[in-house]
Amino acid sequence: MASDGDDALDADASPSPRPPSFVEALLPVLVLIALIALTITLFGVSATDGPLQVALLLGAAFAALMALRLGYKSAAVADAAIGGVTTAMSAIFILLAVGALIGTWNMAGTIPTVVDYGVRLLNPAIFYLTTAVICALVGMVTGSSWTTAGTLGVAFVAMAKLMGVSEAAAAGAVICGAYFGDKMTPLSETTILVPKLVGRGLTVSTHVRNMFWTAGPALGVSLIAFLVLGLTVNPAANVDTDQALAALRSFCDTSPVNLLPLVLLVGFTVKKVPPFLAILGSALFAGVLACFTQWPAVKSFVDEPGRNAVAVGIKGVYGAMATGYVSKSGNAAIDQLFSRGGMSSLLTTIWLVLAALSFAAIMEQAGMLSRLLEPIVAHARTRGRLIFAVNASGVGLNVIAGDQYVADVLPARMFRAEFERRGLAPQVLSRAVEDSGTVTSVLVPWNTCGAYISGVLGVSTASYFPYCFFNLLSPILDVIYGFVGFKVPSDSAESPSPPLPETPAAPAVHAPN
pLDDT tens per residue, range 99-137: 898 899 989 988 888 877 777 777 888 889 999 998 998
Nearest to residue 148, comparing CAs of 501, 465, 457, 430? 457
Angle between helical axes of 51-69 and 368-378 (0-180°, round to 10):
80
Neighbours of 29 (CB within 10 A): 19
Burial (CB count <10 Å: 0-12, 13-18, 19+), residue 11: exposed
Q: Is residue 316 part of a domain?
A: yes
Does residue 401 or residue 492 have the better pLDDT?
Answer: 401
CA 162, 166, 167, 173 torsion: positive or negative?
A: negative
Does any domain span residue 47?
no
Instruction: Establish if 389 belongs to a structural domain.
Output: no
Domain membership flag for residue 222: yes
CB neighbourhood size of 57 (10 A):
17
Domain assignment present for 407:
no
217 within a domain of the structure (yes/no): yes
Mean pLDDT for the stretch of residues 58-70: 92
Domain-embedded: residue 493: no
| Biggest distance spanned by C-alpha atoms of the chain | 95
Contacts of 106 (CB under 8 A, 6+ apart): 112, 320, 324, 325, 327, 338, 339, 340, 341
* Per-residue pLDDT tens over the stretch 351-381: 877 887 788 788 888 888 788 878 877 788 8
Residue type, 155: A
* Residue 320: how many other CB atoms lie within 10 Å: 29
224 in a structural domain = yes
Say what the pTM is. Answer: 0.70
Residue 364: half-sphere exposure toward Cβ, Cα within 13 Å: 30
Per-residue pLDDT of 328-344, as tens digits, reads 877 776 777 778 888 99
Mean pLDDT value across the chain = 82
Angular region, 349: left φ>0, alpha ψ -120 to 50, beta rest: alpha
d(CA 342, CA 295): 19
The tally of domains found in the chain comes to: 1
Structural domain harbouring 277: 89-346
Beta-carbon contacts of 152 under 8 Å, excluding residues fewer than 6 positions away, are 114, 134, 135, 138, 174
